[in-house]
Structures are given as C-alpha cells and as structure tokens.
Amino acid sequence: MASRSAELARERAEWRPWLAVLDATIQATADPAWEHAASVSLATQRPQGAPGLAEAVVRLDPRLARDWTRRLLTLAARGGSPLGTANQLEPLALLEAVADQEPGRLGELAAEAGADPEALVALAPLLCTPLLHACARRVSPDAAWRHGYCPLCGAWPTLAELRGLERARRLRCGRCGADWGFDPLRCVFCGVADFKQLGSLVPEADPESRKVDTCSVCKGYVKALATLVAWPGPRLALEDLATVELDLAALERGFSRPGGTGYPLRLRLEPAAPRRGLLGWRR
C-alpha cells in the first residue's frame, strides 16, 4: 500500500496532504494496539436488517482514542482542512459521533470546535477506521447479507470490486473493510431492480477495468473497479481517491453518493478500565 500511495503522490502532487492523512490511517489500522485496547459487547437483540455492530457497546482505552484523534486532526489541519480546535474535542465522544455519522451530532461538534462541518464530515470515515477495523476482526458478518449497506457498520459501500476472471460483484466498506456480495441488477441504495432505471458510465479510455453504476430513481451511484483479488480494507480509500475522475463524471450527470450511513449504527463508546500489571500498577 505504501507503493500505491507513493505512486499517487508522484502523479498528483496536490494530493500529498490528503495522502498523508490516508497513510496515517492505514498505519493506525494495522496497529495491533487497537485490538488490545478495544473490547466489543454486541447487542443481544437487533432488528431484522441491522448490521452486526448496531447498538454494540465498545470499550476503548481513552489514551489511544486521544492520541489517534489528535494525530489525524492535526495532520488534516496542516493540509488545509478548516478544523478549528477539533483536536481538543473529547476523543471518545468524537469517535462515537463519527462512527454513527449522524450529521446533527457532527454539526454540533463542529460548532463547538469552530470547525467547518463539511471538513469534519469528510474526515469522519477515516477517524473511525482503525476502531471499526478492530471491531470487525472480532465480529463475523452475516454470510447471507442482501442489503446495500455494510453488514458490520451500516455504511454505504465505498466502491464495488469486479473480482476475479468471472468479475463477481463485491461491495466493499471503506470504514471497516467488510466485503459482501450484491445482485448486480439491483440498485445498492434504493433496491430498485428495473433494468430500465439502471445504467453505467464507462470511460472510453479504460472500458474494461472501471465504470460507474447509476440509478435514475434515487440518483445514486457506486464505482465498480476490476481486480483479480480482494483489496485489503485500508487500501480502499486509496483506490477511491485514485478514481476521482469517475466521481466527477457521475456528479456532472446529476448522480451523487448518499450522505450518512445506510443504517443508523448507534454504537456506544465507553472508556475501558485501565489494565493492571502483576504488581498492581496501572498500564
């Protein structure tokens, strides 16, 4: 992934500040400290269609939460994001809000920090990525999942992979790395299955490896990229950035990605009790 990031930095120098933010997120996601510092208690009863982490309680070391949120927010601010004093927000409350990705809560936090709400919303998926990846490694997704939103964290897919020689369609979540199949003849967002309402935008220069699947009913779109094998979860944000020209083509034609998440997660974050060593000292 480092080589992919370096390649993008060479091709598009103006992306370097954002690539620094993505690189920090990728490094944090691979850090085993998140698995050691987070414990997950799943809800005993969930409504039908609720993702695996819906209404779960996650206990997290507040120091890790503080160090991570301040690091990423500081990097983003150095790159020009108008984040005000967001790095002084209470870290567990911030991570809980970005995991739920509710515009109202994020707007309140942005106002408290004197930050641009859009800047905080843009950073939200990356802020919660290490936490949600750590949770995803502990929770098995529903193998029979048939919804367009993520089976673990409820987010809309970042992109679709057209995987292998058979080009099987697999939706991928950029927040937690989840991977699930979905009927290519249905809209990911509204579920419409009328082929007359579904379409594709295909670039003339590269028609075999990438396209944009669109829906004329809800005006949503999802990018679909060919790959032989599944990309590691942290790489999805890099590939999403690398194909921004597909986003521009969709936006120019009136399509957009839905805001927020496909299912309200309502995750609760609580401080983990400090662990004690053999002699009773806190670690």
Is 153 a member of any domain? Answer: no
Q: What is the pLDDT of residues 264-283, one digit of tens each?
A: 999 999 999 765 544 444 44
| 233-261: average pLDDT | 95
Q: What is the pLDDT of residues 61-77, one digit of tens each?
A: 999 999 999 999 999 99
206/170: higher pLDDT: 170
- The reply to whether 206 and 112 lie within a common domain is no
Q: What is the pLDDT of residues 83-131, one digit of tens each?
A: 999 999 999 999 999 999 888 899 999 999 999 999 999 999 999 999 9
- The reply to whether 108 and 212 lie within a common domain is no
- The radius of gyration of the chain from alpha carbons, rounded to an integer in Å, stands at 19
- Contact, 268 vs 59, CB < 8 A? no
Share of residues in the chain with pLDDT > 90 (%): 85
pLDDT at residue 275, rounded to an integer? 59
| 22-29: average pLDDT | 96
- φ/ψ bin of 75: left (φ > 0), alpha (ψ from -120 to 50), beta (otherwise): alpha
Tokens at 170, concatenated = 């697999």
- The reply to whether 130 and 6 lie within a common domain is yes
Is 145 a member of any domain? Answer: no
Is 220 a member of any domain? Answer: yes
- The reply to whether 86 and 22 lie within a common domain is yes
Is 147 a member of any domain? Answer: no
pLDDT at residue 276, rounded to an integer? 53
Is 154 a member of any domain? Answer: no
- Where would I find the H helices in the chain? 2-11, 16-30, 33-37, 62-78, 91-100, 103-113, 117-127, 129-136, 236-242, 244-252
Q: By C-alpha distance, which of 232, 175, 164 is closest to 2?
A: 232
| 136-141: average pLDDT | 89
- The reply to whether 76 and 20 lie within a common domain is yes
- The reply to whether 113 and 15 lie within a common domain is yes
Looking at the structure of the chain, the number of domains it has is 2
- pTM, to two decimals: 0.92
Query: How many CB atoms sit inside 10 A of residue 4's CB?
Result: 16
Is 210 a member of any domain? Answer: yes
- The reply to whether 134 and 163 lie within a common domain is no
Domain that holds residue 229: 159-252
Is 148 a member of any domain? Answer: no
- The reply to whether 174 and 245 lie within a common domain is yes
